[in-house]
Structure 1
Amino acid sequence: PFWDRIHDTELIIEICDGLRPPIVTNAPEGYIELMKECWNSDPKKRPTAEDIYRKIKGIWFSENPNTTKIIVSPDIGPIAENNPGAVYKSRPLSDMILSAMFTRSLRSQSITAEVDLFRVIKEAM
């Protein structure tokens, strides 16, 4: 997902704040619900790897096993076009995630401080 975005701390912050990739509307029945379950902001409410395997296996066997087709969707993004800011291989993200969470926390503290300052000024008037 996010093939058209730079894979940086800003993207991590936006994902933490609820950004999700577009849902492929012509996905097989069951996949969309599973995808949304995996997006839950509470890790304890997300399905386990075993749950995911079981659900995908159920979806796979419930579909007609004699048909195979490639789903083409504009929501997925172009295959031939690479985004120089995107990362197309696995890499450790721990440091980047920590940096993003620190930045997010600082922004939140800054907003809170501005609101508090506004209240003090308003009360002084």
Structure 2
Amino acid sequence: MWELTSGVPPFNNRAHDIQLSLSICKGERPEIIENTPQCYADLMEKCWNEDPLKRPSSKEVLKIIEKWIFHSYEVSEELKSNIMEFINAPIGQHNNLVTESHPQACYTSRLLDFTSKKLNEILESEDSQAYHASYSFSGITEGLNDCTIKDYE
């Protein structure tokens, strides 16, 4: 959803590594683009909820967006105006966004191989950058039990 408002993938300018994963676990999210309609921003923030059970499913997101598009008579005039402004807005013309991808940005799913114990140590560390520099994550093969990604329908 954020990419539709910005024209670039989220965290495009950063390495997609353990540090980014930890930042996201700690609540970091992309900055919402200026002039994004509030209803869209609210829905996007619901999708970013740290608790997967509180996130809307893809079906729920589809129903909400379909309502905005196909049942516009059910929404307020202000919301209609915001939606039309959003639809007609130029995408990706925000001066503060880096459009060139970081060389370590990866847009396919992959396993970041680390243990729950090590993740907790890093999260509790005040300086995770220093920890990351001093510890090699290669060769760790134990499962990550505390951060299971589930597909809820």
User: Structure 1 length as normaliser, TM-score?
Assistant: 0.66
1:34 aligns with 2:55: no
Q: 1:1-125 alignment to 2 at 5 Å?
A: 1-61=10-70, 62=72, 63-64=83-84, 68-71=88-91, 72-74=93-95, 77-79=97-99, 81-87=100-106, 89-90=107-108, 92-93=109-110, 95-96=111-112, 99=114, 101-108=116-123
Query: For residues 64-86 of structure 1, what are the alpha-carbon distances to aligned partners after superposition, in whole Å with 9 as ceiling and x for unaligned?
Result: 4xx744233235x243x232121
* 1:29 CA displacement: 4.0
Off by >4 Å, runs of 4+ in structure 1: 108-111
* 1:50 CA displacement: 0.9
Q: Which residue type is aligned with residue 73 of structure 1? A: H
* 1:102 CA displacement: 4.6
* 1:35 CA displacement: 0.6
In 2, the alpha carbon distance for the partners of 1:102 and 1:3 equals: 29
Task: Tell which deviates more after alignment, 26-35 or 39-48.
Answer: 26-35
The answer to whether the 8 A contact 2:13-2:98 is kept is: no
Q: Which residue type is aligned with residue 18 of structure 1? A: G
Q: Using the aligned pairs only, state the percent identity.
A: 32
Which has the higher relative contact order, 1 or 2, with Cα contacts under 8 A spaced 6 or more apart?
Answer: 1
User: Structure 2 length as normaliser, TM-score?
Assistant: 0.56
Q: Which residue type is aligned with residue 23 of structure 2? A: E
The answer to whether the 8 A contact 2:13-2:102 is kept is: yes
Secondary structure (helix, strand or coil) at the match of 2:114 reads: helix
The answer to whether the 8 A contact 2:22-2:123 is kept is: no
Gaps spanning 5+ residues in structure 2: where? Answer: 1-9, 73-82, 127-153
Aligned residues: 104
In 2, the alpha carbon distance for the partners of 1:86 and 1:2 equals: 8
Secondary structure (helix, strand or coil) at the match of 2:42 reads: helix
Backbone CA RMSD of aligned residues:
2.8
* 1:37 CA displacement: 0.3
